[in-house]
């Protein structure tokens, strides 16, 4: 089950975190993975791990917020069967503590970056008579989170774009879904704790973990497993859906 043999998959933000976990899993399932990241060294490291395990992939450098870079990159790809929009950044702040530059930075990566990749990939999928898209939303699109004003805005936009693409291209055999993780233990979390809570990293990590009713953060591999399902033929009847993967955060955190 969940074979991706003969598939060509683009995974953005695949140099680290969730994107890297997706790239490694897709490669194990037989896909050729186009590892896209703004950080060349990290993209190359992901491909190195893919190849070391006997699988196939290639590293590609682009800033997803730059449409010309994205279009130029996709123009070099012979085919795109799967697109996973995993690249994203975060920000801590209310509307009053979110500077215009921070708001624009999050919009450019988390919203425009997804749009740019959709804009580039969908014509290739139409040419190939179909495709699958999985976007990365968040529980922040469904519930109010403290100090996440700009981040929540971007993830709400991702959820809305998912619905629009699913509706517009259902007749083209293109499926589009999104997932909404709660907290995931990625290098971003470790860096955030180190920067904001020096000397108290473990204490704050445990505190953040317990905000999930299940009592811990997710692992990138757990998120990748859901993305694999939504990308594989076994989910061919699913489009226009958002899948929370949140340890009970949305429904049980009362």
* Alpha-helix runs per DSSP H in 85-215: 100-106, 113-127, 149-168, 187-196, 201-209
The stretch 154-159 carries a mean pLDDT of 98
Cβ-based neighbour number of residue 53 at 10 Å: 10
For residue 151, indicate whether it is catalytic. Answer: yes
The 10s digit of each residue's pLDDT in 202-243 is: 999 999 999 899 999 999 999 999 999 999 999 999 999 999
- CA dihedral of residues 70, 73, 77, 79 (deg, nearest 10): 0
Which residue shows structure tokens 């955060």?
249
Query: How far apart are alpha carbons 201 and 193 in whole angstroms?
Result: 5
Q: Which of 115, 151, 169, 243 is catalytic?
A: 151
Which pLDDT score, from 0 to 100, does residue 113 have? 98
Backbone dihedral region for residue 179 (phi beyond 0: left; psi -120 to 50: alpha; all else: beta)? beta
Whole-number percent of the chain with pLDDT over 70 = 100
80: pLDDT confidence band, cut at 50, 70 and 90? very high
Within 13 A of 29's CA, how many CA atoms are on the CB side?
Answer: 22
Higher pLDDT, 162 or 190: 162
Q: What's the distance, Cα to Cα, between the start and end of the chain in Å?
A: 37
* Alpha-helix runs per DSSP H in 5-111: 17-28, 40-52, 67-74, 100-106
* In the predicted structure, residue 84 carries a pLDDT above the cut 90: yes
The 10s digit of each residue's pLDDT in 14-67 is: 999 999 999 999 999 999 999 999 999 999 999 999 999 999 999 999 999 999
Which pLDDT score, from 0 to 100, does residue 123 have? 98
Which pLDDT score, from 0 to 100, does residue 195 have? 85
> Mean pLDDT across the chain, nearest whole number?
96
Query: How far apart are alpha carbons 107 and 88 in whole angstroms?
Result: 10
C-alpha distances (whole Å) from 14 to each of 127, 185, 208, 253 are 25, 16, 25, 31
* In the predicted structure, residue 157 carries a pLDDT above the cut 90: yes
C-alpha distances (whole Å) from 202 to each of 13, 184, 189 are 26, 15, 11
254: pLDDT confidence band, cut at 50, 70 and 90? low
Which residue shows structure tokens 């004003």?
149
Tokens representing 159? 């959820």
The stretch 93-105 carries a mean pLDDT of 97
């Amino acid at each position: 089950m969940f074979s991706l043999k003969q598939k060509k998959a683009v995974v953005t933000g695949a140099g680290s975190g969730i994107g890297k976990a997706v790239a490694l899993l897709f490669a194990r399932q037989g896909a050729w993975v186009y590892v896209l990241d703004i950080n060349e060294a990290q993209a190359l490291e992901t491909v190195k791990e893919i190849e070391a395990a006997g699988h196939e992939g290639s590293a590609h450098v682009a800033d997803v917020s730059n449409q010309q870079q994205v279009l130029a990159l996709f123009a070099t790809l012979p085919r795109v069967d799967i697109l996973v929009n995993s690249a994203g950044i975060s920000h801590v702040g209310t509307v009053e503590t979110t500077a215009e530059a921070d708001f624009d930075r999050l919009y450019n990566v988390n919203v425009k970056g997804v749009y740019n990749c959709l804009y580039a990939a969908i014509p290739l999928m139409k040419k190939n008579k179909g495709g699958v898209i999985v976007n990365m939303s968040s529980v922040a699109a469904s519930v109010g989170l403290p100090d996440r004003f700009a981040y929540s805005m971007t993830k709400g936009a991702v959820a809305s774009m998912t619905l629009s693409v699913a509706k517009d291209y259902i007749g083209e055999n293109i499926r589009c879904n999104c997932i909404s993780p709660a907290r995931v233990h990625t290098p971003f979390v470790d860096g955030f704790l180190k920067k904001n809570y020096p000397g108290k990293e473990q204490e704050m990590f445990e505190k953040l973990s317990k905000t999930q009713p299940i009592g811990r953060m997710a692992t990138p591999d757990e998120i990748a497993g859901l993305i694999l399902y939504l990308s594989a033929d076994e989910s061919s009847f699913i489009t226009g859906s958002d899948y929370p993967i949140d340890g009970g955060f949305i429904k049980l955190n009362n």
